[in-house]
Structure 1
């Protein structure tokens, strides 16, 4: 069992406080469009006070998906902020939050490790990593009893995203799982609002067009400090496998909206691939 690490810091410490925030954020999130065919999404992972209202757009889209009742497994893919662990680290543990226990789809998790010698069972990468834990309370509040796969990407080169996407889709087909893939990422960090926004809107153009090669090249050429470009790439590639044709930005915000400091912001976006 992985016990919660970031309740009381990134999100509220106790169940009732967490549920109160989530319900408030979902009430404020106004989504438009049909998400019945979407299988892959992106949500930010900063402290709820900063990014939770943008994350709520992703979760409201997931909750409105007519095929949600048929989903067996939710694959969470996040970046490794600590530098600990292997390039692609899979957890075999169940994860607890103040809202209860998120059960691991252990059969799926083990199949991913068996798929390639470059995908590892490694709990150390997950122990002090926040990018997946902060997503779970939203999911637990909204989607009911589902199984989870927890993936931490230490190496976000495009080849690793391609490998992971193939492993996830192949395993889902082999095991007969209906899945949702959720990539966890914030966008540009600690630049002026105008600079960060310009960089991230250029990245958004590639995501809208499902151009993962252009997206990865632009991350480097723009020196954009987006922390989860690898997870986003993997989710985009999974969505392409399932026939998605476009990316749709559901919401954009940044930390300056809360702190009022627009000289050093962190950008947040919610996405669905349709």
Structure 2
């Protein structure tokens, strides 16, 4: 099946983030202003793990990861996105049939050449249905549009598939400093706040220790996180925990929270200068 010259329309504009472009841009700018200063570095992060809830809940945590891209806005030209399937059962990994994704900030092109490379993997297929209502990838795009100058995406919805297969796809598209990998995932879901924080700290310790055995109860994007841990170890990346919080820190109740974290992965030779 060929990639169609059509545009995937936003599914959660006005729900997870503002539908008005001026309001949306102002909200993201405010999140970024409230983050710590961007650390000095000559290399961009190679990969990020970022949350995907409504911006009022997880936007401040996501912004702390995305701020790391600001000095490299003209260098990162391809973003390879991996997010879990929330709406439609998926076997393997699903690329869209459309050639662009629309948000209130404009259209983001899908990287046709990189998609063709990924489709050579037996676990990758095209499925417009998998992408139609999925929010996990969509909510990342306005942050990227606000920061990066000119980029294309390779957006994967990750379903039932072994993590090492997803790691193979990551490695296919690894590229150089022009390519960023983004794994979209929240952490624990619907526990009391204190319990969620304890669970999430254990999960984050496992992520930082390259333990690729996370399950969906640990993080909804566990398959892609496990894959990133496999690929990051193979490529010698070093992780940094950037930010952590729960929905109770912003707008949510204390008795049923969702955990959010941002983790960045750097080439080992550059990691020590980033965040200390």
Instruction: Spell out the pairing of 1:16-31 with structure 2 (5 A cutoff).
Output: 16-30=22-36
For 2:234 and 2:69, the matched residues in 1 are separated by 19
For 1:190 and 1:131, the matched residues in 2 are separated by 18
| 1:259 matches 2:251 | yes
Confirm or deny: 8 A CA contact 2:188 2:200 kept in the other structure.
yes
Q: Secondary structure at 1:111's aligned position in 2?
A: helix
Counterpart of 2:104 (choices 95, 98, 111) is: 98
Change (3 A) 1:60 1:171: closer
For 1:33 and 1:239, the matched residues in 2 are separated by 21
User: 1:8-53, CA deviations, whole angstroms, 9 ceiling, x for partnerless residues?
Assistant: 0000011101001000000011156556252010110000001001
Offset, 1:192: 0.6
| 1:43 matches 2:50 | yes
Offset, 1:162: 1.5
| 1:234 matches 2:222 | no
Confirm or deny: 8 A CA contact 1:73 1:177 kept in the other structure.
no
Residue in 2 that maps onto 1:125:
130
Residue in 2 that maps onto 1:179:
179
More displaced 10-residue stretch of structure 1: 26-35 or 255-264: 26-35
Q: TM-score, normalised by structure 2?
A: 0.87
> How many positions carry a matched residue from both structures?
258
Change (3 A) 1:212 1:255: same
Q: Secondary structure at 1:77's aligned position in 2?
A: strand
User: 1:174-220, CA deviations, whole angstroms, 9 ceiling, x for partnerless residues?
Assistant: xx88310000011101001111111110011111122224xx2xx47
Counterpart of 1:138 (choices 137, 140, 143) is: 143
For 1:86 and 1:134, the matched residues in 2 are separated by 23
Q: Secondary structure at 1:270's aligned position in 2?
A: strand
Confirm or deny: 8 A CA contact 2:74 2:149 kept in the other structure.
no
RMSD of Structure 2 on Structure 1 (CA)? 2.0
Larger helix share, 1 or 2? 1
Residue in 1 that maps onto 2:4:
none
Offset, 1:233: 2.1
Change (3 A) 1:202 1:33: farther
| Structure 2 unmatched runs, 5+ | 1-6, 267-276
Q: Secondary structure at 2:32's aligned position in 1?
A: helix
Offset, 1:2: 0.1
